[in-house]
Each structure stands twice: as C-alpha cells, then as structure tokens.
A and B are shown apart, each in its own frame.
Chain A
Amino acid sequence: MPRSLPQPARQGSLSDPTLFSLRLFLVASLAFSLPACRKESKVDIATREKILLLGNGGEPKALDPHIVSSVGDSNILRSTFEGLVTYHPENDMLHEPGVAERWEANADFSEWRFFLRENAKWSNGDPVTAHDFVYSFNRILHPKMAAPYASMLYFLKNGEAFNKSKIGDFALVGAKAVNDFELLCSLERPAPFFPDVVKHTTWLPVHRGNIEKFGAMTDSYTDWQKPGNQISNGAFMLTDWRINAQIKVRRNPHYWDAANVKPNGINFYPLDNNFTEEKAFRNGLIHYTYTTPENLIEDYKAQENTPLRIETYNGSYFYRCNVTQAPTDNADFRRALAYSVNQEVIVKYVTRGGQQPAYAFTPPSEDGYDPPDVIHFDAEKARAYLKKAGYASGADVPEFTIILNTSEAHKSIAVAIQDMWKKTLGIKNVKIENQEWKVFQQTVLDVKYDVARAGWIGDYVDPTTFLGMWVTNDSNNNTGWSNPDYDRLLRESALLSDPAQRYAKLAEAETILLDDLPVLPLYWYTRVYLLHPDVKNWNPLLLDNHPYKHIDLQSSKAAVSVKEGAN
C-alpha cells in the first residue's frame, strides 16, 4: 500500500495503562493457551477429509437457480449445478467449458450455438440435454414463475416479451434444442460477451422430472430443492440443509468430470455476523471467511504469512442523488458535493480494504473498457461549483439527509463524508438517517430521499452491467435522472459488434453521466477475506465466482500462526 498522505506518529500504547494491561493480559493468556491450539482443529480434520469449510454470508433465500438473486445463494448453486459455460479458475476473461463442449456465434454475435457434451449427467444418471436448458429458460422466463432475476434472460429474442406476457408462446423465444446436444440461442441484439452472460446462475439448468415430481413447473416453493430430493448436474450435490446452521454438498458421482473434482465436499456456513465469522476462522472452524471486519484489516496485514486476501472486485460504491427536488436537483450543487469528497481519505482510513477511489462509475476491468477519468477531490473546484449553484456559502444550503441502511461500515463512510462537506464547503445542515433494510429499499425505489447510499456488483464483465441502469426509467435508476443523449448512446452501443467501437460509445455515455452526476462515485470494491493456507488453487477473480471443483486442500505448517490471529 503506497502511503501518500502524511501519517502521524502513533504513540506507543504504553502511555495508556488500561490498554497496556489489557494487551498484557491477552498476550499472557495466549502464551498460556498455546498447548490447547495444538490439538487437531475442525479445519485440520476437514483438510484431511478434503471438505472445504466456507463462511457464506447469510442464509440463502432458496436453492433454486431460478429464484435466487444474492451472491451467497449463487455460490452454493455454482457447486451443485453447471451451466453451458462456467467460470475459469484463474481468469474471468477466459471461459471454461461446462455442459457445452464448444460454442460458436454468427458474424454479428446475435446467434449462438452451444454443442453439449454427451457424457454430462444429472445426479440420478440421466443425461443433460439441450431440452433441459430450453425447459429451464422457459421456467425462469415464465410470467407465472415471477423469477426476480428473469431480466438476465432478456438477451434471448422475445425473452422480455414472453416474461411480460406480451406473447404467450415460448416457441417464439430465441432458445431451441436443435437436437439433444445442440442448443441454439437467438438474441434480441448482438452480444459479443454472451458466453460471459450464460455463466450466471440464472442460466443454470434444472431437471424437469425432478421439478414436476414436487409440483408444477412454475411453483416456486416446492420441496424439490431439499436435500435428498434435489437432482443437480454439478460437481456436487446437496446432502444437508439446516436453516441458519449449515448447508452441505458432497461429490456427485455422476458428474462428467468427477475424476478431476478435487474436494470431496463443501460445507457452507451462513454466518451473517462478520465478527463471528472472523472468530470462527481464528478458532479453526472454517477455511474461508466471506468478509473481514474493517478494523482488523491492519492487524492482519501486519502478520507474517497473512491469511488476508485483498482482491479487485467488480463493484462500485456510490451515493444516489435525487435529481427531482432541491437542493440535489441542481447539477452544479451535485458537482460541488462530488468534488469535495476526498475519496483517497475514505479508502485509506475508513474502509481500509485496499479499495480504489472511484474516478468514474464503472470500475476499470481487464476486458479493455477504460472509463473516463473525471472525479478527483478538488476543494477549489468544489467551492466554485457551490457558488455557481447559487450558494454564497455552505451555510445557505438547505438541510438535506443522507439515508443508509443500518451498518457500521456505511455509517462510518457517511459520517466522514458529512464532515468533509462541512470542512470543504461549509455545509452544516447535512443529516444522516439509518433506515431498516426494507424501509430503505422502499424509500430508494420511491425516490423519496435526498442522497442515498448504494452499491452495485456487476453480474458479468462488461460495462453495460453498470451503465445500463442509468437509462431513463430503468428499474434500478431510482434517481429520477433522465438524459436523452445518454439513452441514445446506450441504444447505439447495443447494435455495435466491434468491442472497441462499443466501448468508445459507452465511454462517451459515461462521460455524460459523470458530468451530470446523478450519482456520486466513491470507491470501487475489493473483496477482503481470510483464506486458510491449506486451501490451494484459490485464485483472485474479478467476479469472485470460484469454481470449487478445482480447489484443492493440503495441510500446511502455517496453521499455528493463523490461530494466533489478530493480536
């Protein structure tokens, strides 16, 4: 970590008797308890048995690929189901063949043919066919199914129309089984990145007989997804699911590549308290934590052979501004707000997880898209914009509120930003309001806020997954912002099949977004987590979708230093 800002000399904690004795106690008790650490921990046993123990954030809403939407849920589904194309273990720009052995597109990338391997099997031994995929696409797009993430399949021709009940016949949707092992997808418009899209959870197949044994195709709460009932086609199959306790998946003997599946199974633990998760890791109960508390990052960084991993992640943290009402309806005022936030300070001292200050909305990624470099802290510029917005000083700005969903991390960031606006612009009337999660979502949806905290994780590696939401009336826009030029540029980019031209158009659109600033970009996410040294072949991935079958477990000597943890 380059340290560009002056760091005050920190005085030794010796000057503080309370803290000193507390640390003394901790160190003493650590020495005392070393023998206890030597006994074989749960992680040691699991490594020997090749069972991966993963913290997984929270309890999944469901284990049905057509219902879920959260990252944690899809982690589990990626272990039990396999799509046409899957994630590469080392690089998200590369594609790993899944059920499809190979695929080809027509000249303008609007028609894709997937050739399925003939040895792909369901966990009951049935072959996986192109018909299974067509059935699954029908299921998720079916209006009665009301799959929350159905819009991921709007890439298919007529997918949106079918989902919105404008056409009733699924045969009109662009997904055909040419034969048992050839699937043809016709798209609404060219998509050179289509193989990236079909990696997503929503494109996973389900077993028709399995679904219909427990109810109709579109029933979303049947017993089919329970352990023992669920038939899946991935490297693993579901064997245990206890709410708020654990989910276990074990080797699927019928998986086509079973010989190359390294772990014997995975246990997912829905620990939604990140402090608990970190303690469980230090206690040798899990191999991997879903997150790491921000205040422990420095301690972990200081360790030798640290289990801490910090990796670039395909996400953007920002504030939405309500452009339909004062004071945030004034673009100059929004510019003043954006340029007065010192993003460097926020990532360095508040979030502390190696995040990058967001000079644009879309994070730069390896696929070649380079977002315009616009937003940088500039107090003079910010004050000039405030004047231009019609405020002689910050004191004249009417009261406005930042809303957030309750979380320590969001709170710290908001408090820091509130203080920066006060120091740089002299705005004293900024309030912060915590809201309960659903209340917060409803408030944002109804655009009944001034400034609202937000985050966005890209579903696949392409700038459209970030820029598409700012189109007029997009259901994720929620700022009231609308710009005809922006909408036009996005429409035009969709018709281009040459990546370079496409990216140029998108960058042009993003420049408009960054000039008008309905959003204040703050930082680009990183994944910050702890990984046990026994876990091998776990590589940094931009989308963080690790294909579990490649992950190996081998005992390592470093275990003791991990146990000593964050002291």
Chain B
Amino acid sequence: METLRYVVSRFLQSLFALLCIITITFFLARLAPGGPFLDEKAVPEHLIEQMKRNYGFDKPLPVQYGLYLGRLVQGDLGPSLGNKGFTVNEVIAEGFPVSFMLGISGLIIALLIGVPVGVVAAAKRNTAVDYSLMAFTMLGICLPTFVIAPLLGEIFGLKLGWFDVALWENSSAWFLGAVTLGLYYSAYIARLTRGSMLDVLSQDFIRTARAKGVAPVKVLFKHAFRGGITPVVAYLGPALAGLIGGSFVVETVFGLPGLGQHFIKAATNRDYWLINGTVTVFAVLILVMNFLVDVLQGWLDPRTRSNK
C-alpha cells in the first residue's frame, strides 16, 4: 500500500515537473534572438508580419501558451516551422525510432565492452591488466565523439570496407554510430562495474566462499557478479535517455535521421514548436527513467525510502 502511494505521488510530482519544463521551454524559446522567419537574404518586414499571423505568433504570448497547452493535451505538438509541411508529431515519429535503435545498440555495445572489462579489472586489481584495461576505456572518454566517429568511418568504412560511412536507407553506417556511442558509455560502465565489483569482492560472503575453496572464476561470476552489476543496471535508465537525446554528433557524422539532429536544428532554426516537442519527449524520457530508477532503488534498498 505504501509502495502504491509512493508511486502515485512520484507520478504526480513528475507530471508537475513536466508542466514546468514545457512552460519554461515555451517562454525561453521566445527569448532567443532572431525568429524562425529570418532568412539569409532579408525577408521584407510586411511578409514577416504576415507569417507571424499565419502561425498565430501575433497573439499575446500567454494566449499562445494557453492554445499550445490545449493542443498538447490532445496530443498535437503543432506544425514544424523548419520542416514546412510536416507536423512536429510526424518529425518526432520519424526520428525517434532511429535514435532509439542507435541508443539501444550503443548501450548493448557499451555493456558488452564495459561489464567484462570492469569485472576483469576488478579481479586483477592494481595490476598491469587492470591499468591497461582502464586506460583503454578511458580512450572512449578522452577522444571526443567528433574524433572517434570520423576515425571509425575512415578505418572500418573506407579502409576495410566493412561498413558504409553514411546514409540511413539500406546502409550499415548506423552501426558505426552505435559503436561510437557505445565506446563512450563503455568507459563509464567499466569504471562503475570495477568499483562495485571491488566492493562486493571485499565482502564477507565472498571471503567465506573463497575460504571454502570455491574456484576464483566461480566466485567472480556466481557470487560477486550479481551484486556488482546492480548499480550498472540502475545506470542504464539515465544512460539510455542521454543516448537517445544526445547523439547529435554521431547523427551528423554518419548522416542518420535521428532525434539528436532535431534537438540542435530546432534550436538553430528557432523552430518553436519542434523545440517544445523535442524537449517534451526528452523530458518524459528522463522523468520516466528517473522514476523507474527511484522505484527500483526503493525496492532494492528499502532504507532509501524511509523518508520522514
């Protein structure tokens, strides 16, 4: 019963936070200089005024805000100003699956690299193996994605010919994008895994198991692994949200039609409705992930729920 109350109250809080995000974004976007109708060759003032009327931007801001919320409740995110002829719903519906696939693949790659590296590094703590593995994963952090992405394209795309270097349709370039993202997150996951494995390995039940003569590999994987992986699991939520929203560089370098490009392009085009739309989607993603993490955490560790 208490759990249910916790879940409901968290849900309501999140809903309120979402409303705040939508509101702040709505007004913030209007503060940025240079509206959506500016063009490289100057557009005459009378035409800009008319465009504003056509899109309802001539009404007072609070009225526009009210109308926007009204449409939002019905699930209508409005027309895109930078992709004329498309609604924001259509733009996001096209971009989200691409980003989701990139994000999930990137996360799987990150786990496939990060977890084993972390476990081995923990098992071989403070040895050359540990240092070199950790150094390897640090590469993913030290070399920014705008270096790794073109480098992967140059090597695996052009030199080895294993993958295409760009485009989406019938193209394998997305895989290189997923690898780029995966390498970056694998560094975090490896460090996380190593740290938590070290903690678990120092605990008594492991010592007991060792003392009983259980094989080291079995200790590592049967006894320690489950405990060591818990924080990694909890990290997946926020990581996935970040992966889906933050793949701008990778999408640009490999020419992929994901959501990440829209985050940036909506802002640079002053595409007000698309800015609001992408932020709303991203906010929902973050709130859901954080909510899941908190619930999961409460379930794993009842002490953290003991609020006064």
CB neighbors of B among A270-303 (8 A): 271-273, 275-277, 279-280, 282-283, 285
Query: A148-B47, A436-B268, A442-B38 are known contacts. Are A243 and B85 too (CB-CB below 8 A)?
Result: no
Query: A29-B159, A33-B160, A243-B86 are known contacts. Are A441 and B166 too (CB-CB below 8 A)?
Result: no
Please tell me if A226 contacts chain B, counting CB pairs below 8 Å: yes
Taking a contact as CB atoms under 8 Å apart, the answer to whether B39 and A143 are in contact is no
Taking a contact as CB atoms under 8 Å apart, the answer to whether A245 and B167 are in contact is yes
A30 to B154 alpha-carbon distance, docked (Å):
11
Instruction: Give the most central of B47, B252, B256, B258: most A CB within 10 Å.
Output: B47
Contacts of B157 in A (CB 8 A): 279, 283
CB neighbors of A among B82-96 (8 A): 82-86, 91, 94-95
A59 to B164 alpha-carbon distance, docked (Å):
21
Taking a contact as CB atoms under 8 Å apart, the answer to whether B85 and A438 are in contact is no
Please tell me if B263 contacts chain A, counting CB pairs below 8 Å: no
Contacts of A32 in B (CB 8 A): 159-160
CB neighbors of A among B127-184 (8 A): 150, 153-155, 157-162, 164-171
A36 to B157 alpha-carbon distance, docked (Å):
10
Instruction: Give the most central of B38, B40, B270: most A CB within 10 Å.
Output: B40
Please tell me if B66 contacts chain A, counting CB pairs below 8 Å: no
Query: A61-B82, A147-B47, A223-B85 are known contacts. Are A33 and B161 too (CB-CB below 8 A)?
Result: yes
A172 to B274 alpha-carbon distance, docked (Å):
40
Taking a contact as CB atoms under 8 Å apart, the answer to whether A243 and B40 are in contact is no
Query: A30-B159, A220-B54, A445-B38 are known contacts. Are A438 and B270 too (CB-CB below 8 A)?
Result: yes
Please tell me if A221 contacts chain B, counting CB pairs below 8 Å: yes
CB neighbors of A among B32-51 (8 A): 32-35, 37-48, 50-51
Please tell me if B185 contacts chain A, counting CB pairs below 8 Å: no
Contacts of B251 in A (CB 8 A): 244
Please tell me if B26 contacts chain A, counting CB pairs below 8 Å: no
Please tell me if B254 contacts chain A, counting CB pairs below 8 Å: yes
Within the complex, the shortest CB–CB distance from A137 to chain B, in Å, comes to 16
What mask results when residues 236 to 268 of chain B are scored 1 for a CB within 8 Å of chain A, else 0?
000000000000000111111110011001001
Contacts of B103 in A (CB 8 A): none
What mask results when residues 145 to 189 of chain A are scored 1 for a CB within 8 Å of chain B, else 0?
111111100000000000111000000000000000000000000
Taking a contact as CB atoms under 8 Å apart, the answer to whether A276 and B155 are in contact is no
Please tell me if A565 contacts chain B, counting CB pairs below 8 Å: yes
**CB-contact partner of A441 in B34, B44, B82, B261, under 8 A:** B34
* Stretch from A63-71, A340-348, A360-368, A371-379 contacting the other chain: A63-71
Taking a contact as CB atoms under 8 Å apart, the answer to whether A283 and B84 are in contact is no
Query: A279-B165, A441-B38 are known contacts. Are A146 and B33 too (CB-CB below 8 A)?
Result: no
Query: A144-B50, A441-B38, A442-B34 are known contacts. Are A245 and B168 too (CB-CB below 8 A)?
Result: yes
A437 to B257 alpha-carbon distance, docked (Å):
22
What mask results when residues 61 to 93 of chain A are scored 1 for a CB within 8 Å of chain B, else 0?
111100101100000000000000000000000
Taking a contact as CB atoms under 8 Å apart, the answer to whether A279 and B158 are in contact is yes
Contacts of B153 in A (CB 8 A): 276, 279
Taking a contact as CB atoms under 8 Å apart, the answer to whether A283 and B54 are in contact is no
Please tell me if B79 contacts chain A, counting CB pairs below 8 Å: yes
**CB-contact partner of B41 in A221, A273, A476, A565, under 8 A:** A476
Residue of A nearest to B47 (CB): A146
**CB-contact partner of A269 in B32, B50, B167, under 8 A:** B167
CB neighbors of A among B202-258 (8 A): 251-258
Taking a contact as CB atoms under 8 Å apart, the answer to whether A276 and B257 are in contact is no
Contacts of B94 in A (CB 8 A): 242-243
CB neighbors of A among B188-205 (8 A): none
A556 to B94 alpha-carbon distance, docked (Å):
37
Please tell me if A393 contacts chain B, counting CB pairs below 8 Å: no
Contacts of A312 in B (CB 8 A): none
Please tell me if A246 contacts chain B, counting CB pairs below 8 Å: yes
Please tell me if A424 contacts chain B, counting CB pairs below 8 Å: no
Contacts of A392 in B (CB 8 A): none
What mask results when residues 468 to 486 of chain A are scored 1 for a CB within 8 Å of chain B, else 0?
0000000110100000000
**CB-contact partner of A246 in B44, B45, B167, under 8 A:** B167
Taking a contact as CB atoms under 8 Å apart, the answer to whether A269 and B161 are in contact is no
A225 to B84 alpha-carbon distance, docked (Å):
9
Taking a contact as CB atoms under 8 Å apart, the answer to whether A285 and B171 are in contact is yes
Contacts of A558 in B (CB 8 A): none
Contacts of A475 in B (CB 8 A): 42-45
Contacts of A276 in B (CB 8 A): 153, 165-166, 252-255
Within the complex, the shortest CB–CB distance from A391 to chain B, in Å, comes to 33
24 A-B pairs in the complex with CB atoms less than 8 angstroms apart = A29-B155, A62-B83, A64-B84, A163-B47, A164-B46, A220-B84, A221-B85, A222-B85, A244-B255, A245-B169, A245-B255, A271-B255, A273-B252, A276-B252, A279-B158, A279-B166, A285-B164, A437-B268, A438-B32, A438-B268, A439-B33, A439-B34, A441-B34, A476-B42
Closest 3 CB pairs of A and B: A36-B161, A438-B34, A146-B50
Residue numbers of B with Cβ under 8 A of A are 32-35, 37-48, 50-51, 54, 79, 82-86, 91, 94-95, 150, 153-155, 157-162, 164-171, 251-258, 261-262, 265, 268-270
